[in-house]
Amino acid sequence: MGTITESGNVRVIVTGASGRMGRMLVRAVTEAKGMQLAGATERSGSEYLGRDAGELAGSETLAITLTDRIEHCAEADVIIDFTAPEATLAHARFVAEKGLRMVIGTTGFTAIQLAELKHILADTPAIMAANYSVGVNLALNLIKQAAEVLGPDYDAEIYEAHHKHKMDAPSGTALAMGHALAEGRGVDLEKMAVYAREGMTGAREKGSIGFAVVRAGNIVGDHKAMFISDEERIEIGHVAADRMVFAKGAARAARWVNEQRSGWYDMRDVLGLS
């Protein structure tokens, strides 16, 4: 079982705490009941090192300053990490060494990096999800169910849009939708996915799963799975209006994983949807 402090709070370290999501995570942890911020980190050379995590997050001063040395943070139970693949791997090694728990929201891993991450955390309670929104995870279940019922006679397309600074494409959430759809159909996504179309592509192959990507402005997150026949179109979508929805979900996941035995979980486990 997870560690219980004298105050009964789950102690959390937020990595990448000066970024857009990092600041939201700091707020979510400090505002959540039964949780407390134990530390906040940022990459070496960041202009924000030494700044107060609470002030950066737009809340009250927390007397917790950003450091580039995770080992300098106070004792913790869980690390929440929404950074980049290489940084997440380094943080995972620290988690495994110290016997902590981990909540991972980083996307863009290669297959080799993901295998390494799972190896590092083999004996650790860890959650990894492409999206920590409760609504998105409900949508994933609906997409799987729709794919089971409609089958390959309905053309399947996944659309996603994000802000212009996002580094990876398709988004982790779009890929999660693709995997849910493929699982519902009983096929391998990588064998059926079409990630790009240009030039004389020919007629659509039956059973293929197409992806469309938009990167523009300050879009927080817009995702939609479409099932299309000659007679009708079914859409299952989710629009995020504020990144705080992801941060609150991650804080909820941190509280849940602190009570779990070693294992590899996702947000649907947290919500009891698996």
Identify whether 162 is a catalytic site residue: yes
d(CA 104, CA 35): 17
d(CA 131, CA 222): 12
Q: Which amino acid is at 189?
A: L
- Check if the beta carbon of residue 140 is closer than 8 Å to that of residue 177: yes
d(CA 99, CA 95): 6
Helix, strand or coil, per DSSP, at residue 111: helix
Which one of 91, 162, 224, 248 is the catalytic residue? 162
Helix, strand or coil, per DSSP, at residue 261: coil
Helix, strand or coil, per DSSP, at residue 208: coil
Which one of 98, 118, 163, 166 is the catalytic residue? 166
Identify whether 179 is a catalytic site residue: no
Give the count of alpha carbons within 13 A of 254, CB side only: 35
Q: Which amino acid is at 111?
A: A
Active-site annotation, residues:
162, 166
